[in-house]
Every structure is written in structure tokens, then in C-alpha cells.
Amino acid sequence: MASQDHNNTPRKPPARKAVSDPEARAQRELGIVGPHGELQLASVTVDGYSLELREGDGFVGDVASRTAFRHMLQAWRALFTSMVGKDPLGQRPTRRLSKHQLDALLRKKGPAAQAIQAAVEDYALQLVHVVQRFLRHRSWRGVERIIIGGGFHQSEVGRRAVERARQILRDGGVGAELRTLHHHSDEGGLIGWVHLAPAALLHSYDAILAVDIGGTNVRCGVVQTHLHRAPDLSLAEVVRREKWAHADDKPRRDELLEGIAAMLERLMAHARKKKIRLAPYIGVACPGLVVEDGSLAGGTQNLPGNWESTRFHLPRYLCGRLPHIGQGRTQVCLHNDAVVQGLSELPFTQDVRRWAVLTVGTGLGNASYTNVAPQKN
């Protein structure tokens, strides 16, 4: 079990800090939580995630990733270069053009904007194709809303692509609507953990620590629940965040994990300084299929090193590496990153029963959900 008991050394009763009844309940609930986040929650069921629908030699989702958009742009860039005799996007390689640079070029008239807009149209068509394929899968049947997550849609290029895909789906009579994530992409994969953490824990502490590991970036944050202001957790926010673009540094697996642990230690120090009461709980979102024991069984190909080894257990590693958070046991839970990012949208999907998420990143993550109808008294 990926938990750590911090009370191994007996203490004399007078020297031991009194534990309130809510904290005691939280510790009891924490004691039965496993290292894998749940699929059946009080208000929603995770019907499926990390679907790998095959198409030819690859997977359906491959054609709608951020990487796929770069390939489309490169193809249009080469075509425009051959037509006008000059590269419309300049000297910088396509993979090195940032979202801000592409947005700036898109706003200007001329061959550069035309090449980017052509790639946007191609991407929108591919996204529509992916959506239609997923909607035919049994775990997506009846989905009424699809949330587009990841950072792609937070650029003008991405926004136009999603809007164009929405229009094509609407004109084609597809019932499921496309929307974009409410939260910033750097925060959705952290905030979603407030819906997975034990309820008693959230009532007893101010905030939790959360981690979102992606193929390009890793994000760590202190997520404050504000449960007393919004019982549906719609006001949960990241009050402190660190981000590491690890793909630029090309770390080995253990170096990446050490960097994550160091980020979490700094966040713990910040919480102590600001007198934010952290729960003894860390939620870790990661690509791939998560086994019940908290190990990974596939889908981690965009991460450095071997994350699926039988000798590697991410929750156990972090639990042993990090300092204590308060008294009692600290639990580290692992879940799929698309599932967690999607759950950040839970307070805003109460007008539909079936919904799903597609996260556009280095790859294309996916998850589908069914809201649990509240029981009538």
C-alpha cells in the first residue's frame, strides 16, 4: 500500500498533540484508501479512460494530438514554400515555434497566416474524425458533451481549431457538443484531485498537494478546496504552483521523480509559511493505465524511462521520498491524467448525464463519465 505511517516511534501521551474528531475520522478514512484513485465516486462514475482505438498502424487519437498539428503545419509550410519560393514562417523549425509566435503570425495577413489557417482546418477535420470514432465506442455512447482539455485550446490557433470542429460537428448533426476546460490547463489536472480525495479529509484540512505529469511538462500545486464557500468544490483553486518543462532537459526517470519530490517539498514549505493546513494526501496524475495496486500497465511511452517495470511503483517511491505531512499516515494516490483533468469540470457538467474529455497534449488523453443522479428524499 502506498502509504506511510509516521507514528512508528511511540510517544508519551502528554507530549502527543490532540487529534480532533474530524481529523480522526479523516485518518480512519485515509487508512482504507488504496494507491489507485477510485472510478466510482459519490456523484460520478468514470466509465472508461485511455481508450486505444486502432486505425491502420497507429491509434485514432494520434491524428489529433499537439504533435499531429505540428506535422500538419510542417506539411503546409513546405507547400507554401514551394509555391512562393520563400518559407512563410521564417528560419525557426516548426517544432520550435511557440504558441505565442504562431498566434502572432496568424494575426498578420499573408502566406504565414494562410499556412497556419490551413493547418487549423486540417486539424479541425481530424478532431471531428476522432470525436466521431470515440462516440461510436460503447463507453462513449450517449455522451452529450465533450470537454477539450490540455493547453492547445488556450492559444488562438487552438481556439480556432476547436471552434471550427464544433461547427463541423453541429452542421453534421452530431448531438455531442464541444466545450473547453474552465480551468487553465496547468491547473485542471491538479484541481480534479479534490473530487478524488476522501471527503472526510477535505472537511478536516484546507488544501491538498497534487501532481500532473505529462510528456512535456510536470506541474505540482497546492490546491485549496474552499469547501466552506462552495460544497460542490466549484471554487477550488491552485494557490501555489510550480511547473517544469522537463522535455527540454531530457531527464532520466529517476531524475524526473527527484525533481517532482523537490517541487513538492517547496510547496510544503510554502503551505507552512502561509499557515495552510495541508492534508496528508498527495494526488498524482499520470498518463497511462493505472492498475489497482497503483502500478502502471501501459500508455507511458511519452515519459522518460520505464514506468511499467514490475520493480517500479510511483506512489510508493514518492511516499518514501517525501517528508511527513502532519501526523498519522500520508497517502499517495495515482490516477490517469485525463480522468483527473476531466474531474475538474465536474461542478460545471451537472446539466448533462453523460460527458467526456479529450486532452490535447503530446498525445491525446481521453476519459468518459456518467453523473450519478442525486437520490430523492
pLDDT, tens only, 226-268: 999 999 999 999 999 999 999 999 999 999 999 999 999 999 9
Residue for cell digits 465516486?
41
Question: Higher model confidence: residue 293 or residue 251?
Answer: 251
Q: What percent of the chain has pLDDT over 90?
A: 74
Asked if 141 and 103 touch (Cβ cutoff 8 Å), the reply is no
Helix axes 156-171, 99-107, angle to 10 degrees: 70
Eight-state DSSP code of residue 296: B
What pLDDT shows up at residue 227? 95
What pLDDT shows up at residue 34? 52
| pLDDT (average), residues 339-345 | 97
Distance CA 64, CA 309 (A): 29
pLDDT band (50, 70, 90) for residue 13: very low
Q: Is 48 strand, coil or helix?
A: strand
Dihedral sign for Cα 41, 44, 45, 49, please. negative
What pLDDT shows up at residue 8? 39
What pLDDT shows up at residue 32? 40
- Give me 297's grid cell: 500497465
Instruction: Decide the pairing of beta strands 54-55 and 329-336.
Output: unpaired
Residue for cell digits 499556412?
115
- Give me 292's grid cell: 489497482
What pLDDT shows up at residue 338? 95
pLDDT tens digits, 28-84: 444 444 567 789 999 999 999 999 898 888 889 999 999 999 999 999 999 999 998
Distance CA 169, CA 76 (A): 24
Distance CA 100, CA 107 (A): 11
Residue 281 has pLDDT above 70, yes or no: yes
Q: Which of 2-11, 24-33, 203-212, 319-328 has the highest mean pLDDT?
A: 203-212
Residue for cell digits 480512519?
28
Residue 355 has pLDDT above 90, yes or no: yes
- Which of 205, 241, 244, 210 has its CA nearest to residue 225? 205
What pLDDT shows up at residue 10? 38
Residue 149 has pLDDT above 90, yes or no: yes
Distance CA 158, CA 89 (A): 18
Residue 18 has pLDDT above 70, yes or no: no
Instruction: Decide the pairing of beta strands 364-371 and 44-49.
Output: antiparallel
Least confident of 10-24, 225-239, 276-290: 10-24
- Give me 41's grid cell: 465516486
